[in-house]
Chains A and B, each alone.
Chain A
Amino acid sequence: MRRAWDSYRLLVQWQFLRLRNVLVLIALIQLALALGIVYGLSLLVPHLDHTSALFLATGAPTLSLLLLGLTVVPQEVSQAKLDGRFEYLSTFPVPRLTSLAADVSFWLVAQIPGTALALLVADLRFGLHLRAGWAVLPVFLLIALSSSAVGYCLAVLLRPQTAQPVTQFVALGILLFSPVNYPLERLPPVVRDVHRVLPVAYMADLVRWSLGAPHHLSLSAAFMVVACWCGAGLAASYRVAVRQR
């Protein structure tokens, strides 16, 4: 266990040293992304009521976390496969998912300032009175891990040239057709049924809850569904990580 922790810590350090020169840029992009989701989407609705503003503001972190797992992590893996880094790191005597954990940790930390600032600005702009509680950390971590596990599997299984359009398609689908920035009821019944199985609506509700905003689904059900997706995603990630060509 001690060795696994040391390996994780060293790979996170490696990732930070490798990307430290672009860390500020990454944080700024994450900030722009979060602000874009709050303000950009509010431009679509000229007279934003309190409920819609709350949905947009609390949906932004969920979307950022989903995009982290479903686009950023797969792009990292695809790039690593292309330049040989993925195979090289897999030859080190470290637990198989350490590299994924290090990636998620790095990108999560890079994302925190942008997300926090976007929430603060949205709170002041729309007078939402959000209150981030203790649950923020486990909820954000759970969502980041779940989406990253799915993104990791896609990127390992697909060729890099295929992984990029597929993950972008998935991200676009989530952005437009998921009840993150608007209530579930707005979706057609069929899509609504699909979202009873998918974790996205539950993730959005967990984030709302962790930020002290009203939530709409059962919290225990939400935790259970997202935890199941996280567990299944990590199990699948482990399977593809130990796979030999």
Chain B
Amino acid sequence: MLLEFEHVSKCYPGDVWANRDVSLGVEAGEVFGVLGPNGAGKTTLIAQLLGVARPTSGRIVMDGVDVVRRPDVARQACSYQPQTQVPVAGLTSMQAVTLAGRVRHGRGPDVRRRAHQLLQLLDLGEWERNAVPLSGGVLRLVAFCMAAVEPGRVVVLDEPTNDVDPLRRKLLWQQVRTLADRGSAVLLVTHNVLEAERCVDRLAIIDQGRVVATGTPAKLKAELRAPLRLELGLDLEASSPPFPAFVRRPAATRGRVVAEVAVADAGAAAAWAVGLQEEGAIVEFLLAPASLEDVYVRRVGVSLEEDASAAGVG
């Protein structure tokens, strides 16, 4: 493993635990997702890796070096896109990205070439010579370029797609993949579960500072042994058809029904849905395996519901 978190914990005064006994490993060349709800301890984990916060206990080892003791090694090896703003007010996109690359000790001509390439690949050409907007998706994308222009052996991305439009999101995910393909370990922190499912090689779900699940998306979904998801699209004025026994827990909203179907009943469910479509009773249908979101909700949702009920929220 290139990067390993070994039993990392952080306790702030007042017995406030930001994370507890977190153990993870990230390989070079893989995109590793860290998923979790707000306040789960994801950003603390990054701060610990980058030497901004010191773990109360545990080690973070990069290439055999404990970077808790040697934060300078971590800073050298990690390039970082923060969740917060980056200091680019008054700079053009090209200036911001080039400066970040040069400060990371990239060679001038290489950095300028790569900066231009990245800005073009993310469809930011019109901002290349213009001042970076101070909010929104373009700023996030420029911040990504600042981390990717001279990538470290570990590239840390904290919520990289926030505020980014759908088309440029696709372009961004391609570049995230490219970073890993070129040998960097990408540590991707996000709560955008659906997009993460398409991009990450492996992931960990963190809740209340602890790792509650880890593995590939496929492995986590298989472990869930979840039923299939059946979605029916109806005309807005149409009423739901009567459901056979194998369609379980149907939940109807205006124009849409979502239900569960056991894997063994997949064939019967598909035939039933095709029949409904041919009769014109439904407009469309979708029969799909459990998504990573289902895994996430199952792993994290329970604790959130417990918290809410403990706080008296209905």
Instruction: Please list the residues of chain A having a beta carbon within 8 angstroms of any beta carbon in chain B.
Output: 3, 6-7, 10-11, 13-14, 17-21, 80, 83-85, 87-94, 242, 244-245
Task: Name B54's contact: one of A13, A14, A88, A245 (CB within 8 Å).
Answer: A245
Number of interface residues of B (CB under 8 A): 28
Sorted nearest first, the 8 A-B pairs with minimum C-beta distance are: A84-B84, A244-B54, A85-B87, A93-B76, A93-B75, A91-B50, A91-B80, A245-B53
When the two chains form the complex, which single residue of A7, A21, A84 contacts B85, counting CB atoms closer than 8 Å?
A84
Among A7, A11, A17, A89, contact of B91 (Cβ-Cβ < 8 Å): A17
**Minimal beta-carbon separation of A95 from chain B (angstroms):** 9
Contacts of A90 in B (CB 8 A): 52
Complex Cα distance A11/B87, Å?
A: 11
Residue numbers of B with Cβ under 8 A of A are: 47, 50-54, 71-72, 75-76, 78, 80, 82, 84-91, 95, 99-100, 102-105
A126 CA to B91 CA, complexed, in Å? 44
- Select A244's contact among B53, B75, B99, B103, beta carbons within 8 Å: B53
Residue contact B52 to A244, C-beta cutoff 8 Å: yes
CB pairs A–B below 8 angstroms (5 shown) = A7-B103, A11-B103, A14-B103, A85-B86, A87-B52
* CB atoms of B105 and A88 under 8 A apart: no
Judging by beta carbons under 8 Å apart, are B71 and A92 in contact? no
Whether A93 touches B104, Cβ cut-off 8 Å, given contacts A14-B99, A88-B84, A244-B71, is yes
Which one of B53, B91, B105 lies within 8 Å of A93 (CB-CB)?
B105
Give every chain A residue within 8 A of B54 (Cβ-Cβ): 244-245
What residues of B have a CB within 8 angstroms of the CB of A10 in the complex? Answer: 99, 102-103
Q: Are B91 and A18 in contact (CB under 8 A)?
A: yes
B74 CB → nearest A CB, Å? 9
Distance to closest chain A CB from B219 (angstroms): 32
Residue of A nearest to B83 (CB): A84
Cβ-defined contact, A88 with B86, below 8 A: yes
* Closest A residue to B101 using CB positions: A10
Interchain CB contact under 8 A, A91 and B78? yes
> In the bound complex, how far is the Cα of B84 from the Cα of A83, in angstroms?
7
Nearest residue (CB) in B for A88 is: B82
Q: A18-B90, A245-B47 are in contact. List 7 more A-B contacts (CB 8 A).
A: A3-B105, A89-B87, A91-B52, A91-B75, A94-B103, A244-B51, A244-B54
The smallest beta-carbon distance between A108 and chain B, in angstroms, is 20
Max chain B Cβ within 10 angstroms of own Cβ: one of A13, A90, A244, A245: A244
